[in-house]
């Protein structure tokens, strides 16, 4: 008979943090499986429309991280094919230059791991990823 009163509760400061951390985990597992990074960016794109504040900034960072990584890997893959073609033309001598795409792939991996760690750290602290210099 009596109505119960529930006071207004403001949104939690960590609202959406679990989703953001899940996407970072999917990106990290993507180093080993590949497909989970696609799942992560799909979730990020679908969630970005309704996100606001820090969650929106984190999702923007994650989407940008994925597409820059995909572009970098496409360029490194083309370079790898060109060096392999050079090796075929020169009878194997051109394969010495294969260290260039391998080094670029290693650099991409290190920078991506650093970007994921930086994003996770910012999410756990409740900060925007863009609040600190790159």
- Percentage with pLDDT > 90 across the chain: 58
Question: Residue 128's pLDDT is what?
Answer: 78
List, for residues 80-125, the tens digit of each pLDDT value: 999 999 988 888 888 888 999 999 999 999 999 999 999 999 999 8
Other CB atoms within a 10 A radius of the CB of residue 115 amount to: 20
CA distance 128 to 52: 12
pLDDT, residue 55, reads 87
- Say if CB 45 and CB 19 are below 8 A apart: no
The span from the CA of 105 to the CA of 72, in Å, is 9
Q: Determine the Cα–Cα distance for residues 58 and 129; give it in Å rounded to an integer.
A: 6
What does pTM read for this prediction?
0.79
Dist CA 79 CA 45 (whole Å)? 29
| CA–CA dist 23, 40 (Å, integer) | 5
| Position 6 confidence tier, pLDDT thresholds 50, 70, 90 | low
What average pLDDT does the segment 10-22 reach? 73
Task: Kindly report the average pLDDT of the chain as a whole number.
Answer: 86
């Amino acid at each position: 008979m009596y109505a119960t009163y529930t006071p207004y509760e403001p949104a939690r400061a960590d609202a959406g943090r679990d989703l953001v951390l899940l996407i970072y985990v999917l990106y990290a597992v993507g180093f080993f499986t590949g497909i989970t990074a696609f799942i992560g960016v799909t979730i990020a794109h679908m969630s970005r429309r309704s996100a606001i504040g820090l969650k929106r900034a984190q999702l923007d960072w994650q989407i940008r991280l994925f597409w820059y990584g995909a572009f970098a890997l496409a360029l490194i893959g083309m370079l790898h094919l060109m060096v392999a073609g050079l090796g075929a033309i020169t009878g194997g001598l051109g394969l010495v230059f294969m260290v260039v795409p391998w080094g670029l792939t290693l650099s991409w991996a290190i920078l991506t791991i650093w970007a994921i760690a930086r994003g996770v750290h910012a999410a756990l602290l409740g900060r925007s990823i863009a609040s600190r210099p790159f």
